[in-house]
Amino acid sequence: MKILVVEDEKSLLAGIEKILIEEAYLVDTASNGYDGLQLAEQNIYDAIILDIMMPELDGFTVVRKLRENSIRTPILLLTAKDSVEDRVKGLDLGADDYMIKPFAAPELLARIRVLLRGKGELIENELSYGPILIDDSLHDGFINGEKLNLTVKEYLLLEFFIRNKEQILLKEQIFNRIWGFSSEAGLNIVDVYVHHLRKKLSVFKLDDYIQTVRGIGFMLKGDDADVQKNEN
């Protein structure tokens, strides 16, 4: 899962990033509110850790703008102020939780886990959509119990589709999530791996679940009756 950390204190930003990476999260960082807002609007994250007192834009403004733009990513606010008014203001604006600095790493991770559970974190390592099931412990997908034998990138791609089912995903969003900003691979790599994934789904006549939105990106959407049948 991918987390955005927005914090202007360099040592704390590096420390939070290290803690999350050690727990196998993917992490993007920003050191001011403006850059953090841009990243949050252009990419899909599973959670955002956001400092309140920052240059360019403060955390309250970032939360307000994200919620006004219907971006519902869970947000954990960080602040050095132990103020009831600040906590109430942040939560009223749409933040999901609040932590006061300094804090212990185990508490930060516990709060992140709570936020991710609310967003649909894997339960018992499994996540599904219609007849498609992925198992995080095995890093593979299954159709009616039959293994798909996915590569690492194919698995990450399918997981990203399922977590954002029936939503249009831009090619840029997919690329940044699976390959990362610093990757030297071109954007066309997304088309290549979508083709690979469709080919494996086609064995089960499910390749049409990955729909092309011409000129924009892709969307995972199956037949409504088929999806409902498998979810009941």
Q: Among 89-103, 114-128, 147-161, 217-231, whose mean pLDDT is lowest?
A: 114-128
Tens-place pLDDT, residues 74-113:
999 988 766 677 778 888 888 988 888 888 888 898 889 8
Please tell me the distance from the alpha carbon of residue 174 to that of residue 177, in angstroms, as a whole number. 5
* pLDDT at site 125: 60
Mean pLDDT for the stretch of residues 134-144: 85
Cis peptide before 102 (omega within 30 of 0): yes
* pLDDT recorded at residue 122: 45
Q: How far apart are the C-alpha atoms of 141 and 139, rounded to whole Å?
A: 7
Class of domain 2-119: alpha beta
Q: Are 90 and 63 in contact (CB under 8 A)?
A: yes
Mean pLDDT of 113-122: 67
Tokens at 79, concatenated: 């602040």
What is the number of residues in the chain? Answer: 232
Q: What is the mean pLDDT of residues 129-152?
A: 88
Give residue limits of the domains in the chain: 2-119, 126-231
Residue 27 to residue 42: CA distance in whole angstroms? 15
Cα separation, 32 vs 169, in Å, equals 26
- The rounded distance, in Å, linking the Cα atoms of 125 and 90 is 32
pLDDT at 116: 83
Distance CA 222, CA 232 (A): 15
- Please report which confidence band the pLDDT of residue 222 belongs to, taking 50, 70 and 90 as the band edges: confident
Mean pLDDT of the chain: 86
Q: Where is average pLDDT lowest: 11-25, 145-159, 172-186?
A: 172-186
What confidence tens digit (pLDDT) does each residue in 174-216 have? Answer: 888 888 766 778 889 999 999 999 999 999 999 999 999 998 9
Scored b (16 or more CB within 10 A) or e, 73-90 reads bbbbbbbeeeeeebbeeb
Instruction: Look at the domain 126-231 and name its fold.
Output: Arc Repressor Mutant, subunit A (1.10.10)
Q: How far is CA 71 from CA 28, 43, 46, in A?
A: 17, 10, 11
| pLDDT (0 to 100) of residue 121 | 47
Question: What secondary structure does DSSP assign to 202-232, as a single string?
Answer: HTTT-GGGEEEETTTEEEE---HHHHHHHH-
The mean pLDDT value for 113-133 works out to 72
Query: Is 126-231 the same fold as 2-119?
Result: no
